[in-house]
Structure 1
Amino acid sequence: MEGFFLKINQFAYVPTSHEQIIKELADSRFLSARTQKMADPVMLYRGLLLKFFLEKKQSRAVRIQKVADLMATTNLNAYEYTTTQSSVSRVAFYNVALQLLGFQVGLDFELDDPFTALKKFKLPVIDSDDPLTRDQLIDAWYRLLNTRTKFGQTLIDDLAGKGYYAQFYDDQQLPRPLFFNGKAQAVFDTSQLIRDVVYVESSLDTDHDGQRDLLKAEIIRPADTEAGLKVPTVFTASPYDQGTNDENADKMTHNVNHPLSRKQPTQLTYDDIKSADKQPELPAPRKINGNTDVAEETFIKNWTYTLNDYFLARGFAVVYSSGVGTKDSDGVRTTGTSAETLSATAIIEWLHGDRPAFTNRTDQIGIKAWWSNGNVGMTGRSYLGTLSTAAALTGVAGLKTAVVEAGISNYYEYYRENGLVVAPGGFQGEDTDVLGELTFSREQSAADYLKIRDTWQEQLKKLRIGQDRDSGNYNSFWDARNLLKDVNIKCDILLVHGLNDWNVKLSHVWNLRNRLKQEAITQKLILHQGQHEYLNNFRSVDYTDLVNLWLSNKLYDVQNNANETLPDVLVQDNAEPETWHTYQDWGSSSIDHYTLSDPRFTNLNENTSFSDHLDEDLFKSYVKDTAKWQRALFTKSHSKMDNHAIQLVSEPLRKDLVIDGRAKITLSAASSATVGLLSVALVDYGKAKRLTATPQVLAAQKIITGYNWRKDDLREFIPEKKASAYKKFTDAHMNMQNRENAYRVDDLKPGQFYTFEMAFQPTFWRLLAGHQLGILIYATDMDYTIRGNQEITYTVDLDNSTLTLPLLATDAGTN
């Protein structure tokens, strides 16, 4: 396991009073009525260590041997120490603590000095006397249980996975749910989980069959609910959950190797293209022919989100639903409209007691979520996170929070940019119709698809026409898919996004966050160094604990200071491994301005114009291997792209420079044709072993979500094995005929200079001292834009072109 850069960052710990610590240790069975009366700290310490090794599951002789396997000092093991010494020294306590946390003597730390390792790994040490008093020992033990191990989990979670709470399954006095340091504990028996299927009746008829669309929902809940326990729900709306049509979707992928077309100029205003989003008249609701508390159908899941699995052991139900147009549900996919939103909120309304559901699709026997306490939190990444955002913005009753990972906030910005057809990273040629086909899993049920096939083909046609790949303009189709148009949010929200996410780009979380600042809610933001990734199994940050604290507060109403404990903005450093920083906001108001002809920038190829046309063989080779094109474009050495871009590189930076927010560039530029596109990238030049944007497995199946329950790999973004010379950290694209906005088309006269104002993707990026800031101006982006290979020459007036950078206040004006 990679350990050289190991840092145990911990942000979810809640400072706790001694009196509350005593109560929580008693509730969790670490302190009994007898041990609470012990005045001798050594005897108490021995008792705690023996309890640690599963008092109810293992004999005393076994537990003594396990304690004796730990070294307290250079010459005494922990059992010898607690039977021969009259006090508990800080050195002895933290030597044992490091071993319980998974650190190895001689490899990770030395017994004569545990504190150097504690500092190196950023592990907490309580302020105490030496030796520890009885009360200090109790506080230190509590803090230790809430400290993260070498393998990423808190010690109490690691212990729970090894059966600590399982030994109390028959203890009817053990609190269920149980909260420790404000977080739900794994006291529920996951071997007894109940799995139900219901069909929620929505307020939709997207397939126009004269009946309201039924939506399949799969429920996993603790067996304790059968005895009357009411639990909250973690809900994931996943259009992929019932299956995907990968082969058919791949066949529909659009060709992007064609010329950019000239568009007829218009004077359109927003009112001309605004979507009314009128809801059609609905059929009457189904008649309820009776009611029951017993579901008729169960299921087996092929895919689950391990964060959801984690909460199943901790007193939460989990619900998955795929929505309209998916297998065993009614309707058709609409790719981003309010119909998909309403198919998510329908499930929440049923969980809150506001909407009917049935035990099967035909008999109309009603079933309520009688086991639910009415509180719902949504989780999920990408499309799943998008639906979490969409549902939250409606203000639906019962939704108390959404944990949104890499969610879309405006579908136009996912598939388009400033009047250009622009692909989500890695998916050239995808569009709303392709995504619709991918997720229309009703296709996988032969008899059902036979009934709906013609309706679906008509729906695909509407998607193809509405998305308008010919122009790339913003229109009423896209306006109906802008989630930020109508905001009625009532719940708190936790936003999570990767600073290297070129699929759902950072503009989505940036725009959502800034819009939510106008609302009376609490929002938090986590920015990591990955691309399109989940974060719940990482070593360097206690993400799962943060979410546990958050959901325990929002869904169980535990008063754990979650709003105050979670940082407002938590950012992973791009230049220092396993390092995280907290901030009050994202987006600096300190702005530095640069003219592109500034002498601090060197024009490497000494050109102010470039051709977008490549030799046919070269063009084909770059289409086949876009990584090869990237290397040729971004390198500071001479390459075959020298005459196809303007490359400006700053002087080496005198000190670190942090770009915090949304940089902008204003170009005075001309096209030799009546069409044109501009692309600009900001590049960090400097040889370094940069963090991998794809997480690496540090230890396989090392994370345990509960006793005999789901496991997950421990992962991390680690430094590359080989140093790289550069890194693109943000970019922007624009159709030169959309220089005013994305819906109005402007004329473009050959050779005439126009002003183009382009906003880069928001970022939080640290350029190290000695590195150089690069500005790449080019046209066709092989990874994202249409690839026309047209005979067009672009010219940029560098004297009248400017770059503005938002910098952390300490960095403004310093380089």
Structure 2
Amino acid sequence: MKINQFARMDAPFSQKVDELRKINFYPEQADFLPLNELYLYFLEKVLFEASSQATLAQKLHGFLATSTEDLYDYLAHKEINLTVFYAIAMQLLGFEVDDDFDINDPLKKMDEIHLYHHDALNDEKDLINAWYDLLCTHNKDGRTLLDSLAANGYFKQFWGLDVNKKPLIFNGKTQPVFDTSKLIREVVYVESSLDTDHDGKRDLLKAEIIRPVDTELGLKVPVLYTASPYNEGTNDKTTDKITHNVDVPLKRKEPNNTTYEEIEFKYENSNLPAARKVNGTSRAAEETFGHDHNVTINDYFLARGFAVVYAAGIGTKDSDGERTCGSKEETLSTTAIIEWLAGNRKAFTNKTDNIEIKAWWCNGSVAMTGKSYLGTLATAAATTGVKGLKTIISEAAISSWYDYYRDGGLVIAPGGYPGEDADVLAEECFSRQKQAGDYLKIKTQFNQDLAQITKDQDRDSGNYNSFWDARNYLKDVPNIKCDVVMVHGLNDWNVKPRNVFNLYKELDKLPIKKKLFLHQGQHIYINNFQSIDFTDMMNLWLTNKLYGVENHANELIPDVCVQDNSTEGTWHAFDGWQTENPQTYAYKFQTNALSLDESSPDTVTFSDQLKVEDFNLYKKNWDKWRQDLLSEKENALTGNHLIFKTNKFEKDIYLQGCPHLKLKVASNQDKGMLSFMLVDFGNIKRLGEVPSTLALKALDAGFQWKEDDLKEFKLTAPTPWKMITKGHINLQNRENNWKNSEVKANQFYDIDLDLQPMFYHLVKGNQLGLVIYSTDMEMTVRGNENLSYSVQLENCQLDLNYETL
């Protein structure tokens, strides 16, 4: 294992002493205490559960100081030294003697797993320095030692601290000095500038608030806001009925000369009803709630002086309006909550009396959190430049809905969800349907508007049009004023990596601070991982952005942090999406091979049609389909794909950016589609795409508060291959995604496209392979038609950016 810790802040000695005093971890007579007495004082603090000297002695006997003495006996006649200090430190951090480290040389293991340590312990000042940094060091369970103490109740003594002394900052981060057993839960209804259900009234939006009781005593706190359309329930049975059939032929599109100007979306919000007249004001909400659909990183910060707000938005249970799947209206529904928190919009205590309530407890600073649709709405909100939004932590987020449901002029499903589309997701999240009385009033209007979404999304063509342009947040990135954290899985084929890659490129043009984390997982959160201090980094980040504490968050957190796919627990820091000087290598095509030397004059062909029994098997068993697709052994897909491989690499390489492909291709019909996989071939152990659970409920967000599982990516048993990235294109969209070009049967055309972006460590001895095929059983339509394709190899090229390691 390795622990990659970035959020530890170097502090001058005077600051360390001051902060240790603030958390009652510093004796008044520290300057006069002998070394062992000072050390015992620190031990007594960290073992605070022991309320008697006998119990403390019992605990000290439980630690091994040397190979022959426990800690209690050692301190009775010897002075603490560097080796013993860190032997005990390792045990305090949860590491086991012999199994995890050598008691005689703990520093060797600390260096191996990247744990910070000092190199000298000669006097009391050295001891104080080392102890302060030990409290900030991550343990075996993926939390700092101080957070582990917090989970056991150390900070309970500070719950009654004067609000003028809160939040409590240690090492640049807020500490859990807030009583989570007394959190205030309340509901308000924010008035938007929308009327998406066309009832002649502005849509009211339900917001659920969780805030510290200290706010009642005058403390103003910042907010972590999560916009989640799923929070009020989903309509799974209904969406199953309207999910689209993908076992249909690819449709030929009538050639056209459509330009972007013809399809560009321009937002209008005319005929907006008048705002409600305020009939009175109140500081107290009239409604509370119990269970919340919590985001675990939000729970962590509820103990540390932040409020949390959840809002599902228009068209959800207890709110007005309709779901519209990624539209401008959904963005404005999201920002309405921020505007209220910042004091720039009205909210009411209920939906009928028009009694206004302000966010008087909020300091006006907001961050947005969440994954997938939640992170998508955070990105969308940021593109408005809304006042009060200081930062977003956007995880696995969509930056353009076309890149979620389409690719290269094709209908492309999010991985694992063939047949889903914008209309299906709108129906899925339209939780007003769960309240029969409310649904009765809106049913007819919603069904009409849902039918319009179905029409406008245009599954027949798969083209980029006004509907998708309205849902392209990249166009509005220049409006972003807040700082941005992005997190994405390099194996996320639900929200594909192009979404974060394109967003990162556009943000690179702005004078804001941005951070990017790329992990090896799929569609997941990473705040509960052993190998990286993500939660601690976000504490550093949010303490800086929302509380204004100067803690060097911008400098300490890497600009780009990438998890290595070839070894466990390894993260690399970069200045950008790629290393400084990766080279571009132009690979030529030979029969079954990729070469840097020359191409072959051959023309090769493959078919798309399968026997009915094989087609029916593969569309239900994607693992079997992938296995046969990437196999060079005879199987039902032999003849239905082309595989081109490089020689075995003599050194490790680091693949970066987007593979660019140029092909000369013909179809035997007047239409066609191609799919591609870039593959790592070689029978080796690889990092799994699904993290392993190391311990259930091992991570505490505070004292007797919410818990989370500890997870980590582990190496799997050897596998013969690993898909690195993929891509798709409709041959009729070879110029762009909105123009249909003609395809004549058996005529060759030049095709240029970028595959999805990558960051991949290919190890020495393995081969890179490009697989060309047509129907993607997981993502494209599956017509099983009599389509075949020819490829002129001498006119093909694969451009790859990589660095030799």
Q: Same fold (TM over 0.5)?
A: yes
With normalisation by structure 1, the TM-score equals 0.96
With normalisation by structure 2, the TM-score equals 0.97
8 Å contact 1:27–1:175 — kept in the other structure? no
| Counterpart for residue 575 of structure 1 | 566
Listed one character per residue, the Cα deviations across residues 726-781 of structure 1 (whole Å, up to 9, x for unaligned) are 01110110000000000000000011110111101001011110000011011111
1:450-529 mapped onto 2 (5 Å cutoff):
450-487=440-477, 488-529=479-520
Matched, 1:46 2:40: yes
Q: SS at 1:725's partner residue?
A: strand
| Counterpart for residue 199 of structure 1 | 189
Q: Using the TM superposition, give the Cα deviation of residue 146 of structure 1 relative to its aligned residue in structure 2, in angstroms.
A: 0.7
Match of 1:185 among 175, 180, 183: 175
Matched, 1:263 2:257: no
| Counterpart for residue 407 of structure 2 | 417
Q: Using the TM superposition, give the Cα deviation of residue 658 of structure 1 relative to its aligned residue in structure 2, in angstroms.
A: 1.1
| Counterpart for residue 399 of structure 1 | 389
The root-mean-square deviation of aligned C-alpha atoms, in Å, is 1.6
- Output the CA distance in 1 between the equivalents of 2:197 and 2:757: 39
| Counterpart for residue 59 of structure 1 | 52
Q: Using the TM superposition, give the Cα deviation of residue 276 of structure 1 relative to its aligned residue in structure 2, in angstroms.
A: 1.3
Q: Using the TM superposition, give the Cα deviation of residue 591 of structure 1 relative to its aligned residue in structure 2, in angstroms.
A: 1.0
| Counterpart for residue 82 of structure 1 | 75
Q: SS at 1:642's partner residue?
A: coil
Q: Using the TM superposition, give the Cα deviation of residue 598 of structure 1 relative to its aligned residue in structure 2, in angstroms.
A: 8.3
Runs of 5+ unmatched residues, structure 2 = none
Match of 2:95 among 77, 92, 103: 103
Q: Using the TM superposition, give the Cα deviation of residue 607 of structure 1 relative to its aligned residue in structure 2, in angstroms.
A: 7.4
Q: SS at 1:284's partner residue?
A: coil
Q: Using the TM superposition, give the Cα deviation of residue 124 of structure 1 relative to its aligned residue in structure 2, in angstroms.
A: 1.2
- Output the CA distance in 1 between the equivalents of 2:454 and 2:163: 60
- Output the CA distance in 2 between the equivalents of 1:493 and 1:38: 48
- The alpha-carbon distance between structure 1 residues 99 and 152, as it changes in their structure 2 partners (threshold 3 A), is same
Letter in 1 for 2:724: F
Listed one character per residue, the Cα deviations across residues 248-304 of structure 1 (whole Å, up to 9, x for unaligned) are 111111000011111100001100111112122211100111111101100012421
8 Å contact 2:369–2:375 — kept in the other structure? yes
8 Å contact 1:635–1:726 — kept in the other structure? no
Listed one character per residue, the Cα deviations across residues 613-645 of structure 1 (whole Å, up to 9, x for unaligned) are 111111111112121111110123232212011
Listed one character per residue, the Cα deviations across residues 546-590 of structure 1 (whole Å, up to 9, x for unaligned) are 111110100001100000000011000000111111111113552
Letter in 2 for 1:541: I
Runs of 4+ in 1 over 6 A off after TM superposition: none
Q: SS at 2:733's partner residue?
A: coil
1:51-450 mapped onto 2 (5 Å cutoff):
51-54=45-48, 58-85=51-78, 87-128=79-120, 131-172=121-162, 175-450=165-440
Q: SS at 1:379's partner residue?
A: strand
Match of 2:677 among 676, 681, 690: 681
| Counterpart for residue 752 of structure 2 | 757
Match of 1:8 among 3, 12, 16: 3
8 Å contact 2:603–2:792 — kept in the other structure? no
| Counterpart for residue 645 of structure 2 | 649
- Output the CA distance in 2 between the equivalents of 1:597 and 1:270: 38
- Output the CA distance in 2 between the equivalents of 1:160 and 1:358: 37
Match of 1:594 among 587, 591, 610: 587
Q: Using the TM superposition, give the Cα deviation of residue 81 of structure 1 relative to its aligned residue in structure 2, in angstroms.
A: 3.1
- The alpha-carbon distance between structure 1 residues 353 and 13, as it changes in their structure 2 partners (threshold 3 A), is same
Matched, 1:716 2:707: no
Q: SS at 1:452's partner residue?
A: helix
Q: SS at 2:454's partner residue?
A: helix
- Output the CA distance in 2 between the equivalents of 1:600 and 1:454: 58
Q: Using the TM superposition, give the Cα deviation of residue 218 of structure 1 relative to its aligned residue in structure 2, in angstroms.
A: 0.3
Q: Using the TM superposition, give the Cα deviation of residue 600 of structure 1 relative to its aligned residue in structure 2, in angstroms.
A: 5.8
| Counterpart for residue 633 of structure 1 | 629
- Output the CA distance in 2 between the equivalents of 1:227 and 1:544: 28
8 Å contact 2:725–2:758 — kept in the other structure? yes
- Output the CA distance in 2 between the equivalents of 1:115 and 1:145: 17
Say which is worse superposed, 318-327 or 634-643, in terms of deviation: 634-643
Match of 2:693 among 675, 690, 697: 697
Q: Using the TM superposition, give the Cα deviation of residue 594 of structure 1 relative to its aligned residue in structure 2, in angstroms.
A: 1.1
- Output the CA distance in 1 between the equivalents of 2:68 and 2:651: 48
| Counterpart for residue 728 of structure 1 | 723
Name the % identity. Answer: 50
8 Å contact 2:410–2:729 — kept in the other structure? yes
- Output the CA distance in 2 between the equivalents of 1:447 and 1:50: 61
8 Å contact 2:592–2:645 — kept in the other structure? no
Letter in 1 for 2:61: A
Q: Using the TM superposition, give the Cα deviation of residue 609 of structure 1 relative to its aligned residue in structure 2, in angstroms.
A: 0.3
- Output the CA distance in 2 between the equivalents of 1:806 and 1:112: 46
Q: Using the TM superposition, give the Cα deviation of residue 126 of structure 1 relative to its aligned residue in structure 2, in angstroms.
A: 1.1
Say which is worse superposed, 586-595 or 14-23, in terms of deviation: 586-595
| Counterpart for residue 551 of structure 1 | 542
Listed one character per residue, the Cα deviations across residues 179-209 of structure 1 (whole Å, up to 9, x for unaligned) are 1111111111100101010000001110011
Match of 1:777 among 757, 772, 779: 772
Q: SS at 1:665's partner residue?
A: strand
| Counterpart for residue 3 of structure 1 | none
8 Å contact 1:495–1:525 — kept in the other structure? yes
Runs of 5+ unmatched residues, structure 1 = 1-5
8 Å contact 1:28–1:174 — kept in the other structure? no
- Output the CA distance in 2 between the equivalents of 1:765 and 1:106: 35
Q: SS at 1:160's partner residue?
A: helix
Q: Using the TM superposition, give the Cα deviation of residue 599 of structure 1 relative to its aligned residue in structure 2, in angstroms.
A: 8.9
